[in-house]
Amino acid sequence: MTPRTEGRTMHSPPHQHGHSPNGTAQHGHDHSRTPHQARSVALHRAAVTELLAPLLAQGRTETLALGDALGKGLAHDVPAPLSLPPFANSQMDGFAVTSADLPDGGAELRVVDPVPAGAVPAALDRGTAAPIMTGAMLPAGADAVVPVERAVPDRFPAPGEPNTVWLPATAAGTFVRSAGSDIAVGERALAAGTFLGPAQLGLLAALGIAEVTVRRPLTVLLATTGDEVLEPGQPLPAGKIYDSNGTLLESAMRQAGLAVVRTAIASDRPEELRALLRSHAGAVDLMVTTGGVSKGAYEVVRQAMEGQAAEFLHVAMQPGGPQGIGTFDGVPFLGFPGNPVSCLVSFEMFLRPVLAELFGSPAPRIPVRARLGHSLSSPEHKHQVRRGTLQGDGTVRLEGGESSHLMHALAGSNALVHVPAGVSALAEGDEVEVWML
Amino acid sequence: MTPRTEGRTMHSPPHQHGHSPNGTAQHGHDHSRTPHQARSVALHRAAVTELLAPLLAQGRTETLALGDALGKGLAHDVPAPLSLPPFANSQMDGFAVTSADLPDGGAELRVVDPVPAGAVPAALDRGTAAPIMTGAMLPAGADAVVPVERAVPDRFPAPGEPNTVWLPATAAGTFVRSAGSDIAVGERALAAGTFLGPAQLGLLAALGIAEVTVRRPLTVLLATTGDEVLEPGQPLPAGKIYDSNGTLLESAMRQAGLAVVRTAIASDRPEELRALLRSHAGAVDLMVTTGGVSKGAYEVVRQAMEGQAAEFLHVAMQPGGPQGIGTFDGVPFLGFPGNPVSCLVSFEMFLRPVLAELFGSPAPRIPVRARLGHSLSSPEHKHQVRRGTLQGDGTVRLEGGESSHLMHALAGSNALVHVPAGVSALAEGDEVEVWML
């Protein structure tokens, strides 16, 4: 498990300062920095955006059948190639009529042949009513539908049998879905960057579109580090712990639509980690490490990144303060801290929202307002991210404490609870922003 | 597109009444029925639960590596095979001390060899302080950690070099994560039926568990119906529409972890649909059809199910009122209505929550409270499900109207908005229950 340092001033070694890949976001007069010189959450997210944005410019798209596009981000705007509905149709099972045939008090109309769905019906003669099923095309001349249960008798006559029906007065347009009432031909159906979930793919299908161009997902190298960390499934010597970061982050990344390459757990020898990263550098879009980014005596990731265009800094966030960012041999690199909760919070606060924004996949977390089930305190200069369970009554119960080693509490949570910088205490019942996991 | 009937009394043909697979939920004195004799949402959901519960009893489990278990439902309770943390460790980079050595005013202690992470350190002699990294095992005899920045000097001496450090008075337990403070050995780590997301899999990894027994996902046959419905990607003759239900529901089902078998679009000839269903009956756990369940003249699903243990009824819900439920040749069957929005609402209201409850996958939708951005009206005897967009300020904006053909509006929504039966109007600012899609 890797050092996590809370509430300390982080001084990057001087040789790391000249290499920032992030330009002004990381340097210069940064008035949003806290008294501890930590970078704000917003600024670090902007730095991650700047790091990954060039990948978007590289024409990383592919064209897929609808069935393969679930969970991807749309590459281009899609205009509607036809209107929806394509033609005026009935909203009810009933009688298609010309509304002018039905004065106040209603009228008796002759019933003509029914309109089958999928056919182009004959024009409706004045003084007649055509049985019509929901979704069937309105005959030319008809401008309204009277639901069958308002007719007398309230049923359809047997087909072919001559018959009449009494129908009440009905305004033009009643129970008619007009052509283009959902979307008109040429209108933008979906915008570039839209996450393609069931509804979006269903809309494309309704528009007759069978293939869609999406942004190709990134391939991420995920390397967990630490001499003290073992893969699950083997005996645990005293002093060692099992690696949960690899499983946690790989799952979160895959759930977010990324392709993940997992390395074996890296040792605490910087030259070994460097060789490991180098062996994958040509095949991945992004490298993510866990652990070894803080200011302890043995910080393998910091050491392995020496000479690279990367910096290590403290974000004004709890947990997940220590962060690394830059490039390794030109490949974008993010160094998350080593505690599992810190890892997940780092992913949710920095990588996931940037992927959603830049690539349209994963779907963004929607901020939800909830009432705190407890009072809490929070370090005033940090954005605190607590874990909690949103209840049916709109309150959120905190799970576990502030500490970043509480995996069991995290596994029992369904939400992240945000306490922004500048807030040091909240009372029970106060409204907070919550992200559903 | 298939008939959808709103606000009408549905009378099932008498021959369908003796075959209910759902027992008391569908018969007897059902006081919750509305004046229109429609079944409540809760009762229909209970009927779907009863229909699918036998599948759970069939020992449908499989044992998977953690990496393959993402998105599955846990089959059995998992007790913790070890405590987390497994041993007392340091929460900070600092000095491990015996608190009794640090009286008020602090004391100068001799610095001994540092504690590397992953090792079992030598016991701490009285009067000494051991440099310790976050996560490293606390030496026997130590009971507190003093963060390095509170030491004088506030840094670690070079290893091996004899040195002393001044440390302030520190209470026992300070900055120590005690063994079992997250979970104790033998405690239940995860309950049967838990959805396995990143945090749950991360917890299993932290516990050293490399394989997990999950419930096997159901295989669903999905058949869309209608002579007027065409696959996307071909020219559209007048009067026809493209099938969006197939893409919409297949995507929603796959997103919910189901294995989906899609048939070609079924015609409106009942004997053809019957043959199609029969050809798949041995290979699937559930059959879902769309369309042909209402009370129009051409209702292919109703007709194809004649002689089967299935019934067609009206649920007091808008959209998605007409529903079919039962078995076809002994295989559980659900007949959704034919409009796309009705299909998705049927899936979200009936199938998805029952799968989440019975099988632990997909993850349940968490009800969220939001304030309406508009006033609305709703048929008093029905549970209305509107589509909307939850905004950052906690209000929800409705997208499109009540009508079930509005795919574009659905694709622009991120939430379902619930207006329960018994409510006929809500004002702007009223609180509603929202499900994030």
Which residues in chain A show pLDDT less than 70?
Answer: 1-36, 160, 296-297
pLDDT in tens, B65-87: 999 999 999 999 999 999 999 99
Mutate to test the interface with A, among B11, B37, B134, B395 (most CBs of A within 10 A): B134
Give the predicted TM-score (pTM) of the model: 0.90
Question: In Å, what is the CA distance from A267 to each residue of A26, A272, A312, B120, B171?
Answer: 30, 7, 20, 18, 35
Query: Above 80 in pLDDT, residue B248?
Result: yes
CB contact under 8 A, A370 and B367: no
Interface touch B228/A118, C-beta < 8 Å: yes
Pinpoint the residues of chain B covered by CATH 2.40.340.10.
367-436
Start-end of CATH 2.170.190.11 domains in chain A: 89-177
Please check whether residue B344 is in contact with residue B252, taking contact to mean a CB–CB distance below 8 angstroms: yes
Q: A245-255 and B198-206 are packed helices; what angle lies between their axes, rounded to 10 degrees?
A: 160
Instruction: State residue B250's pLDDT score.
Output: 98
Q: Chain A contact for B185, CB < 8 A?
A: no
Q: Where do the CATH 3.90.105.10 domains begin and end in chain A? A: 62-83+184-215
Distance, in Å, from the CA atom of A174 to the CA atom of A90, rounded to the nearest integer, reads: 9
CATH architecture of B89-177: Beta Complex (2.170)
CB contact under 8 A, A114 and B297: yes
Q: Do the beta carbons of residue B22 and residue B51 sit within 8 Å?
A: yes
- Put simply, whether B107 touches A (Cβ < 8 Å) is no
Hey, are the CB atoms on A134 and B246 less than 8 Å from each other? Answer: no
Q: How far apart are CA A427 and CA B402, in angstroms?
A: 39
Task: List chain A residues with CB under 8 Å of B408.
Answer: 80, 84, 182-183, 189, 203
| Contact: B190, A70; criterion CB under 8 Å | no
Rounded CA gap, A358 and A63, in Å? Answer: 18
Q: What is the pLDDT of residue A297?
A: 66
CA distance A236 to chain B (A): 8
Q: Does A200 touch chain B (CB under 8 A)?
A: yes
Q: Is A271 helix (H, G, I), strand (E, B) or coil?
A: helix
A197 to chain B, any CB pair closer than 8 A? The answer is yes
Of the candidates B199, B210, B366, which has its C-beta nearest A411's C-beta? B199
Instruction: State the smallest CA–CA distance between residue A174 and chain B in angstroms.
Output: 13
Check CB contact of A317 with chain B, cutoff 8 Å: no
Architecture of A62-83+184-215 per CATH? Alpha-Beta Complex (3.90)
* B157 touching A (Cβ < 8 Å): no
Report CB contact under 8 Å: A232, B66: yes
Residue of B239, B222, B240 lying closest to B231 (CA atoms): B240
The answer to whether A116 contacts chain B (CB < 8 Å) is yes
Q: Nearest Cβ partner of B242 from A205, A243, A431? A: A205
Of A3, A8, A248, which is closest to B202 when you measure between CB atoms? A248
Give B297 to chain A, closest Cα distance, Å.
8
- Token readout for A181 is 């009432």
Query: From residue B317, how far is each of A133, B246, B325, B385 by CA, in Å?
Result: 20, 22, 16, 7
As a whole number of Å, the end-to-end CA separation of chain B is 24
Mutation site for B-interface testing, chosen from A366, A389, A397, A437 by largest number of B Cβ within 10 Å: A366
From the CA of B310, how many Å to the nearest CA of chain A?
23
Q: How far is A102 from chain B (nearest CA, A)?
A: 22
Q: Which residues of B touch A339 (CB under 8 A)?
A: 134-135
Q: Over the stretch B291-331, which tens digit does the pLDDT of each residue have?
A: 999 876 679 999 999 999 999 999 999 999 999 999 999 99
Two structure tokens written together for A424: 């040091």
Q: What is the CATH topology of the domain spanning A14-60+216-359? A: Molybdenum Cofactor Biosythetic Enzyme; Chain A (3.40.980)
**Chain A CB contacts of B234 below 8 Å:** 208
Q: Is A55 touching B (CB cutoff 8 A)?
A: no
Q: Which one of A135, A239, A411 has the shortest CB-CB distance to B190?
A: A411
CB-CB: which of B239, B393, B436 is closest to A87?
B239
Position B375 pLDDT exceeds 90: yes
Give the A window 15-34 contacts with B, CB below 8 Å: none
Residue B255 backbone dihedrals phi, psi, to 5 degrees: -60, -30
Token output for A315: 């974000």
Contact criterion met (CB < 8 Å) for A116 and B298 = yes
Contact B232 A84 (CB under 8 A): no
Report strand pairing: A241-242 vs A229-230. Answer: parallel
With a cut of 70, say whether residue B31 has pLDDT above it. no
Residue A250 in contact with partner chain B when CB distance is under 8 A: yes
> A280 vs chain B: nearest CA distance in angstroms?
21
Q: Give contacts of A9 with chain B, Cβ < 8 Å.
A: 149
pLDDT of amino acid B36: 53
Which of A6, A268, A436 faces B436 most closely, judged by CB atoms?
A436
**For range B138-159, the mean pLDDT:** 93
Cα separation of A319 and A407, whole Å?
A: 13
Helix A352-359 to helix A41-56 angle (10° resolution) is 40
Task: Identify the CA nearest to A295 among candidates A341, A338, A264, A328.
Answer: A338
The whole-chain average pLDDT of chain B stands at: 90
- The beta-carbon neighbor of B239 closest among A91, A118, A344 is A118
Query: Would you state the CATH architecture of domain B367-436?
Result: Beta Barrel (2.40)
Q: Look up the CATH superfamily of B62-83+192-215.
A: Molybdopterin biosynthesis moea protein, domain 2 (3.90.105.10)
Q: Which residues of chain B make contact with A183, given a CB cutoff of 8 A?
A: 407-408
Residue B368 touches chain A, beta carbons under 8 Å:
yes
Which residues in chain B are classed under CATH 3.90.105.10? 62-83+192-215
User: Searching chain A, which residue's CA lies closest to the CA of residue B205?
Assistant: A244
Please compute the mean of the pLDDT values over residues B338-346 and round it to a whole number.
96
* For residue A270, cis peptide bond before it (omega within 30 degrees of 0): no
Could you give the CA distance from residue A284 to residue A416 in angstroms, rounded to a whole number?
29
What is the DSSP annotation of A281-326?
A: TTT-SEEEEES--SSSS--HHHHHTTTSSEEEEEBSEES--EEEEE
Interface with chain A: mutation pick from B138, B403, B408, B432, highest number of A CBs within 10 Å = B408
- The 10s digit of each residue's pLDDT in B398-411 is 998 878 789 999 99
Comparing CB atoms, the residue among B149, B248, B431 nearest residue A199 is: B248
Contact A344 B201 (CB under 8 A): no
The predicted model gives B224-249 an average pLDDT of 95
List strands edge to edge, sheet with B211-215: B61-65, B211-215, B73-74
Q: How far apart are CA B408 and CA B367, in angstroms?
A: 24
How many CB contacts within 8 angstroms connect chain A with chain B? Answer: 357
pLDDT (average), residues B1-25: 33
B8: pLDDT strictly greater than 60: no
